Amino acid sequence: MSRGSSRPWSTILALGCVWAAAGGCSSPPTAEVHVTAVRDDAAGTLSFAVDGRQALVYQYGEAWAIPHIWPLRSPSGRSLLVQRTEPFPHHRSLWVVDRVQLEGGPDTDFYHEWKNLRDPEEPGLGHHSFIRHDGFRELRSGERSAAATADLTWIAQGEPVLGQSLRFELEDLGDGEFLLHLDWELRADYGEVRFLSDWVHYGWPYLRMDPDFSGEHGGTIRDDQGRRGQEATNERYARWIDYSNQVDGVREGVAVFLPDDGQPRKWLTREYGTFGPRRPDDWSGTRFRLGRGERIGGRVAVLVHRGGVDGGQVAARYQAFVASQE
């Protein structure tokens, strides 16, 4: 057990038809259920699938200091993202973390999780600071979509710092393509919290492409204004960014859509495979505080598609996403 502490599990509320491979509630599937969310507490995973084909997995097991999504499957079944890699072994595929400090508590960098090992020489002893998955408040499967809401707590040296909710909704687009609606909220439930993130070491959310899809291996970074590559897109405002490549003769990719909420955001992009949006400028790359009881959140949609930007109809699907939020 990585973290060196036991964790409570909240009761699952099953909405719609849900079944689990292990450790979950079960009921027989019906002909109308095509998109499923399957919980396995023993493995610490929540798997989303379309007609039995895995689309993505939320990893919440105690082996990890940061709950995250991995794999994220392309239409052909490839893993678009990498769970652990060098020279940045703290990267976790698709994740939301930060560096924070509860009033009177330690300055804790949850992003560089290796800094929080109890003993760097004995990683098996786990972490003294980590994001704990507490349970689910929603688990739903259905004809065209499946959803789940997870509750989490940020723990710094044994003490809670932030409460968090993280909601997933997978929308089937057909032919192996899908849209993941991802919403999260952080709450200063335990006192005033300072956010100490710098410009480089956070993204809301952060994604790390599998090396086969990275720019260093021929992949293409492109934003909504047609700009290409790290130099043209990094630290620039954009409404969406797409990362795609041709691997073994098949071109596929992933795009991240921002809401049209009147709050422009800049992006981090790297040819080696990392990308993600910042928070709005007033809360990005600066030190700010959440007073006790205050909240901060985020929302994106992650499009997994065939082809590149044009073949995947990324621009048109972004417009459809924006229209669906009105």
Q: Per-block average pLDDT, block size 10, for the chain (326 residues)?
A: 37 33 44 92 97 97 93 97 79 86 94 81 87 96 97 97 98 98 98 89 89 95 98 97 97 98 95 94 88 96 98 97 90
Residue 68's closest CA among 93, 100, 48? Answer: 93
How close are the terminal C-alpha atoms of the chain, in Å?
A: 45
CB 36 within 8 Å of CB 19: yes
- Pairwise CA distance, residues 159 & 2, whole Å: 17
pTM, full prediction: 0.89
Asked whether residue 41 is domain-assigned, the answer is: yes
CB 69 within 8 Å of CB 59: yes
- Pairwise CA distance, residues 301 & 321, whole Å: 8
Asked whether residue 5 is domain-assigned, the answer is: no
| The two structure tokens encoding residue 303 | 């499009």
Q: Give the pLDDT of residue 31.
A: 53
Residue 144 CB partners (closer than 8 Å, separation 6+): 34, 35, 171, 172
User: How many independent structural domains does the chain possess?
Assistant: 1
Residue at 190: amino acid letter: Y
- Pairwise CA distance, residues 100 & 74, whole Å: 34
What are φ and ψ of residue 19, in 5° steps? -140, 155
Asked whether residue 231 is domain-assigned, the answer is: yes
Residue 71 CB partners (closer than 8 Å, separation 6+): 54, 56, 57, 79, 80, 81, 83, 93
Question: Alpha carbon of 76 to those of 54, 159, 176, 249, 304: distances in Å?
Answer: 11, 43, 7, 11, 11
Domain that holds residue 259: 14-324
Asked whether residue 317 is domain-assigned, the answer is: yes
Sheet holding 288-290, edge to edge: 107-109, 99-102, 193-195, 288-290
Asked whether residue 286 is domain-assigned, the answer is: yes
The H or E element spanning position 116 is none
Q: Give the pLDDT of residue 23.
A: 43
Asked whether residue 1 is domain-assigned, the answer is: no
Q: Give the pLDDT of residue 1.
A: 41
CB 95 within 8 Å of CB 67: yes
Residue at 245: amino acid letter: N
Q: Give the pLDDT of residue 3.
A: 53
Q: Give the pLDDT of residue 92.
A: 66
Return the percent helix, strand and coil in the chain, to nearest 5: 10, 45, 45
Which residue's structure tokens are 């949850």?
110
**CATH for 168:** 2.70.98
Asked whether residue 264 is domain-assigned, the answer is: yes
Residue 315 CB partners (closer than 8 Å, separation 6+): 224, 309
Asked whether residue 7 is domain-assigned, the answer is: no
- Pairwise CA distance, residues 88 & 201, whole Å: 12
